[in-house]
Amino acid sequence: MSRAPTALWFWPDTSGDDTVRFTDKQKEVFDLICRGYSYKEIAFMLGIAEVTVKQRMATIRKNLGAKNNTHALKITVILSF
């Protein structure tokens, strides 16, 4: 499998105190989640452990205050407008 590009979503980068920032690795995992890949597929594609994918998604959800991955996607779409 080839690696998917990681620039799928707009990530807000303003200087306000409420800005949520993500590492490049978190963005890469989240982009692939949004494309419909499973944790196992993402782990294989990126050459990392599945638990690492789960940890990165847990951090993203926590930082966004999201209940699940779908909610995290909805929040990032709303923040990008």
Give the model confidence (pLDDT) of 68-79 as tens digits: 999 999 988 887
Q: What gap in Å lies between CA 63 and CA 43, rounded to an integer?
A: 21
Q: How far is CA 16 from CA 8, 62, 74, 76, 77, in A?
A: 23, 19, 21, 16, 18
* Domain chopping of the chain, boundaries: 24-79
- At 4 the pLDDT is 41
Give the model confidence (pLDDT) of 17-42 as tens digits: 566 788 999 999 999 999 999 999 99
Average pLDDT, the chain: 82
As given in the structure block, the two tokens for residue 9 are 């979503």
DSSP output for 19-36: -----HHHHHHHHHHHTT
% pLDDT > 70, the chain: 75
Class of domain 24-79: mainly alpha
Q: Scan for tokens 């597929």, then name that residue.
A: 41
